Amino acid sequence: MSAAESGPDDGAARWHELALRVPEARVEEVCEALEALEALSVAVEDADADTPAEHALFGEPDQPPPAAGWQRSRVTALFDTEAQAREAAALLQVQDFFDGCDVEGVRPVRDADWVRLTQAQFEPVPITDDFWIVPSWHEPPAQARTVLRLDPGLAFGTGTHPTTRMCLRWIARHGAVAGRRVLDYGCGSGILAMAAARFGAAEVDAVDIDPAAVEATRANAAANGVALRAGPPELAQGAYGVVLANILATPLKVLAPLLCGHVAPGGHLVLAGILERQAGELRAAYAPWLALQVADAEDGWILMTAQRAAA
Ligand SMILES: C[S@@+](CC[C@H](N)C(=O)[O-])C[C@H]1O[C@@H](n2cnc3c(N)ncnc32)[C@H](O)[C@@H]1O
């Protein structure tokens, strides 16, 4: 029996999951239809996962990427009641676009299963040997001397993305944040701002255009006992000893004068969200103010940094 199936003593089901097998060409239509049928969530995975027919989504180095998507997908949708799940299955089966698709079945899903399945996907993430990002349901590893507690949520930044990891490594290894004012521009979950605080920043401002990210940053900071100010971009005022921005190349180019304007004399600018091939255009965009260098690289992403001359 799989983790999500109910047994006789397992208690009441919280949701009902409708599972479908769908050829790649139909996945988008089927997902849209499930959303229109008020599914609470829709997930798509490789129907052939863990079998010899499993299909990679990303190409090997120096190989062309495979066609996007899997050849056969398993689409699962959660509904509040069994009746809703069965009705959705019945409605889909009479649609033209459902040709070639199959209904696998409807099964109950319990609260505990859902939590366990989600949690199983998030393990502690090492940033350096002794600095770890640890979900709240895990014990920190024995070697972790600095820990940030962070659970997956709506805002970007759980420490699993290379761009976030490179910024965190820079904060941990460079030693530049200690005793300084730090600005995290585009804070997402607040992970960089919290790391700056953990590594001794004197004051931390975290800003984001997304109000949900600002809320997430406040909640995560409170859960970690970290003091910081979080708010919209206007919250950033004056000069900072370290300015961190993990956004993407295009907004980073637009933000160049603003971000450089916040870097104090002797201060550092740390930029991520940049692909290796974008190094030249970023260097050119920042050249009027600061000379960016590539400081780190991981999985095709680079970290670019610059230091303003001391006054
Ligand atoms: C890739 S996430 C980075 C989150 C986190 N700092 C990290 O390193 O994991 C980028 C964040 O920047 C925010 N953002 C995008 N454009 C922005 C802008 N022009 N001003 C402020 N925040 C912005 C997004 O809302 C998002 O939360």
pLDDT of 46 over the 60 cut: yes
Helix axes 82-93, 27-36, angle to 10 degrees: 130
Q: What is the mean pLDDT of the chain?
A: 87
Residue nearest to atom 9 of ligand 1 (CA): 157
Q: Report the C-alpha gap between 120 and 114 in whole angstroms.
A: 10
pLDDT of 69 over the 60 cut: no
pLDDT of 68 over the 50 cut: no
Indicate whether residue 305 lines ligand 1 (CB < 6 A).
Answer: no
- Distance (Å) of CA 137 to CA 155, 179, 213: 19, 32, 22
Structure tokens at 247: 């956004």
Cα(202) to ligand 1 centroid in Å equals 22
Annotated binding-site ranges:
164, 186, 208, 246
Residue 119: how many CB atoms within 10 A of its CB? Answer: 15
Q: Find the mean pLDDT for residues 230-240.
A: 98
- Residue 81: phi and psi, rounded to 5, are -130, 160
Q: Report the C-alpha gap between 75 and 89 in whole angstroms.
A: 12
Chain segment 163-211, per-residue pLDDT in tens: 999 999 999 999 999 999 999 999 999 999 999 999 999 999 999 999 9
Cα(110) to ligand 1 centroid in Å equals 34
Annotated binding-site ranges for S-adenosyl-L-methionine:
164, 186, 208, 246
Helices (H), 147-226: 162-174, 191-198, 211-223
Domains of the chain: 15-54+64-119 (3.30.70.120), 153-307 (3.40.50.150)
Q: How many CA atoms lie within 13 A of 74 on its CB side?
A: 13
Residue nearest to atom 18 of ligand 1 (CA): 209
Indicate whether residue 254 lines ligand 1 (CB < 6 A).
Answer: no
Cα(246) to ligand 1 centroid in Å equals 6
Which of 194, 205, 210, 234 has most ligand 1 atoms within 8 Å of CB, for mutation? 210
pLDDT of 66 over the 50 cut: no
Q: Find the mean pLDDT for residues 140-161.
A: 86
Of the listed ranges 39-53, 58-72, 235-249, the one predicted with least confidence: 58-72
Q: Find the mean pLDDT for residues 276-303.
A: 97
Of the listed ranges 41-55, 87-101, 250-264, the one predicted with least confidence: 41-55
Indicate whether residue 217 lines ligand 1 (CB < 6 A).
Answer: no
Residues written for the chain: 311
Indicate whether residue 210 lines ligand 1 (CB < 6 A).
Answer: yes
Chain segment 175-185, per-residue pLDDT in tens: 999 999 999 99
Indicate whether residue 188 lines ligand 1 (CB < 6 A).
Answer: yes
Q: 0.80 cut: is pTM over it? A: no
Residue 101: how many CB atoms within 10 A of its CB? Answer: 20
Cα(245) to ligand 1 centroid in Å equals 7
* Model confidence band, residue 12 (pLDDT cutoffs 50, 70, 90): low
